[in-house]
Amino acid sequence: MTNKVYKNSTEVAQLHGVPIYMEDMLNACLVGRLNLFLQGDTGSGKTQLAADAMQHFGDKSLFVLGRNDMDTRELFQRINLEKLRTAKTSQDVREITDKVDTNLIVVDEMPNCVPAVRA
């Protein structure tokens, strides 16, 4: 059985005649530790590209699905900083510090969020 590997082959620009692909942009942002905002039509591969990027970080990534009723506090509640104050064991503290050390946060469907969350 052959596994098919998804590869985003969308050309986004050319630099001196050399094509620059979406995957190149993603890799440049990951290496440069830069924010990346993906915008495009439905089905253009934004979520798949974000999932590909999350694979680079494993447990050090966080996926949040944007909704119109989302509150800015919800982003921070996903990390559960309150548990830091109430932690009783070193395992509890380790769980919090591991989440704070998240290397990649993906917020999908950002246009669905209220303006305060988008800001």
Confirm whether 4 is domain-assigned: no
**Count of structural domains, the chain:** 1
Tokens of 52: 């590909």
Please give the pLDDT value at position 77: 65
Confirm whether 6 is domain-assigned: no
Confirm whether 96 is domain-assigned: yes
Q: How confident is the model at residue 17 (pLDDT cuts 50, 70, 90)?
A: very high
Nearest to 26 by CA among 42, 5, 7, 4: 7
Domain membership of residue 74 as a residue range = 11-118
Mean pLDDT, residues 98-108: 71
Any idea which residue has 């979406």 for tokens? 22
Confirm whether 18 is domain-assigned: yes
The tens digit of pLDDT for each residue in 55-96 reads 877 777 878 787 888 776 766 666 665 666 677 777 766 666
pTM of the predicted structure, to 2 decimals: 0.58
Distance CA 109, CA 111 (A): 6
Rg (CA), the chain: 17
Confirm whether 52 is domain-assigned: yes
Nearest to 12 by CA among 42, 35, 63, 46: 46
Confirm whether 2 is domain-assigned: no
Confirm whether 5 is domain-assigned: no
